[in-house]
Amino acid sequence: MSCLSKKHRINSSRDFNKIYKSDKKWHTHSFVAFFSPSKNLKVAFVASKKVGGAVQRNRSKRRLRGMFVSFENRVISGNYIFVAKQKIFERNPQELEKDFIFALRNLKLLK
């Protein structure tokens, strides 16, 4: 199962707002993780214009997506939103992985 298929994406603004208002969120150096409990696994990757131009925004979302795919089988079901920060480009892949583990552990989302 891949979390990147259409049925595993968060699309509606209502869903985004509901997840943003949820109590479970965690800030790291490179991103902010939001979580809302659900029976199904759904995920979204967001990068605002603060991150940079289109190339930087797409690159940051691609890095977050790649990191999430490596943890996909170890996280509990629910709705996830990962919002990239500007500092994501200052982090190498090992540091980004540590941030990911740190955020998921603090939110108690690892199986």
CATH of the domain at 54: 3.30.230.10
pTM, rounded to two decimals: 0.92
* In a domain? residue 1: no
* In a domain? residue 75: yes
Residues of the chain with pLDDT under 70: 1-3
The count of structural domains within the chain is 1
* In a domain? residue 60: yes
Q: Which domain holds residue 60?
A: 8-106
* In a domain? residue 111: no
> What pLDDT is stored for residue 4 in this prediction?
73
What is the distance between the terminal CA atoms of the chain, rounded to a whole angstrom?
Answer: 17
* In a domain? residue 3: no
> What pLDDT is stored for residue 55 in this prediction?
97
> What pLDDT is stored for residue 2 in this prediction?
61
* In a domain? residue 88: yes
* In a domain? residue 80: yes
> What pLDDT is stored for residue 1 in this prediction?
46
